[in-house]
Amino acid sequence: MTNPMDTSASTAINLVDCVVVGSGPAGGAAAYHLAKRGRSVVVFDRDVLPRYKTCSGGVSPAVGAWFDFDFSPVISKTVNQIRYTWKVGDPVDATLNTSEPMWMVNRSEFDHYIVQQAQSHGAEVHGGTTVLGVKFKGDRWLVKTDKGDVQAKYVIAADGATGPMAKWLGFGDREVRMGAVLEVPSQDNNPNAQFDFGIIKNGFIWCLPKAGGYSIGTGTFRGKDNEDLKDALLEYASLKGLNITQAKFHTHPMCLWTEDQQLHTRNALLAGETAGLSDPFTAEGIRPALFSGMKAALAIDGSLAGDSQALANYTTIIQQEWGQDMIWAQKLANIFYRVPGIGYKVGVKRPSATDRLCKIMCGELKYADVANRALKRLSGGLIPGLG
């Protein structure tokens, strides 16, 4: 993708410490932590805010430790009961043995709420504004939008898996897979989160309760990305006996962590799905997005204060504190989703494994803590006598 920046036709206005492109969890978190530290921040998003975001909306309560405000106004429901199934049958029920229940959120409310906290500290937010290009000139970025131009000392790209910012900043292509969500209105007050294996060949289906309905999501994690996600979700809903006459189907791109990669360049950082941070085993994206947004803000704040290694250290921090564990997640995904029937039998149905997976999803345990034993059991299911 060619950067369409044409400085000859631009008249830059303002000079801010940082422009953040994208107002999702990564962009909102970055804007909040920068503004809180007294840095001047402008956020651009092509959508008018608040906006719907295709996402099932499960959030680890661990993210609360990274912010000093209360998330309860935008928690739609909390969940501490999990049900795993194989093609909707053979259930395994588990209780989250964690310090707090998992949060269920509507992304339109959740994302906008974080942005509003950033605004309360002085961040300037422009929804319905499309960034048309960026160019580094002298010691600053010139950011061109359809509403005018802004100069910024730093830029954070948080415009999602298929946004153009990463390419414009000189980063290579990232592997993008497809996910899907079926939003099902319902008066059913079932408090369980449900995870189903077997209907999708190279992935799984998750059904998360919200106030007023369910978000039923799916995605694939290995092999060719050519499964019919809509048919799979409709099959699941039918087997569950859900009324889908008013259901709405949405697709969305996912950018899963595949390997360590550089996330910084000259006065610019990648964050969230733009950085390819989603979990390659569960597709969890909100927690790593919030984490990377916070760390990106701290890095730019440090660079503004004179730390010449702050941006490079951001890449190192993300690799060490998130990426290294995602390597284990990817190893598990490569085996588990190749033979999900065996994975369900020797993994999911084991009470200890279920408890550990719940703690991983809530951010209280790392894949590295359990991966060796899990890989041995999965391999033992494939090779008689092993494990």
Residue 16 φ then ψ, to 5°: -115, 165
**Maximum separation of any 2 CA atoms in the chain, in Å:** 71
Q: Which residue has the higher pLDDT, 346 or 293?
A: 293
| pLDDT score of 167 more than 50 | yes
What ranges do the domains of the chain cover? Answer: 7-57+106-174+257-327, 76-105+176-252, 339-382
| pLDDT score of 92 more than 60 | yes
The whole-number pLDDT of residue 377 equals 75
CB 142 within 8 A of CB 12: yes
| pLDDT score of 13 more than 80 | no
Question: What's the predicted TM-score (pTM) here?
Answer: 0.93
Separation of alpha carbons 127 and 112, rounded Å: 11
Listed in sequence order, the residues at least 6 apart from 346 whose beta carbon sits closer than 8 Å to its beta carbon are 377, 378, 380, 381, 387
The string over 263-294, giving b where at least 16 C-beta atoms fall within 10 Å of a residue's C-beta and e elsewhere, is bbbebbbbbbbbbbbbbbbbbbbbbbbbbbbb
CA 145: distance to chain centroid? 25
The whole-number pLDDT of residue 7 equals 38
The whole-number pLDDT of residue 11 equals 46
Q: Which two tokens stand for residue 285?
A: 């994206």
Q: Which two tokens stand for residue 286?
A: 């909100």
**Most confident residue range from 5-9, 187-191, 222-226, 337-341:** 337-341
Separation of alpha carbons 350 and 252, rounded Å: 32
| pLDDT score of 6 more than 90 | no
**Which of 3-17, 63-77, 148-162 shows the lowest mean pLDDT across its residues?**
3-17
What topology is assigned to 7-57+106-174+257-327 in CATH? Answer: FAD/NAD(P)-binding domain (3.50.50)
- Burial category of 136 from C-beta neighbours within 10 Å (exposed 0-12, middle 13-18, buried 19 and up): middle
| pLDDT score of 117 more than 70 | yes
Q: Which residue has the higher pLDDT, 276 or 226?
A: 276
Separation of alpha carbons 8 and 3, rounded Å: 14
The whole-number pLDDT of residue 272 equals 98
Separation of alpha carbons 219 and 233, rounded Å: 10
Above pLDDT 90, what percent of the chain?
Answer: 77
| pLDDT score of 259 more than 60 | yes
User: What is the average pLDDT across 208-229?
Assistant: 91
The whole-number pLDDT of residue 5 equals 44
The whole-number pLDDT of residue 35 equals 98
CATH architecture designation of domain 76-105+176-252: 2-Layer Sandwich (3.30)
The whole-number pLDDT of residue 3 equals 52
User: What is the average pLDDT across 6-33?
Assistant: 82
Q: Which of 275, 258, 263 is nearest to 310 (CA)?
A: 263
| pLDDT score of 387 more than 50 | no
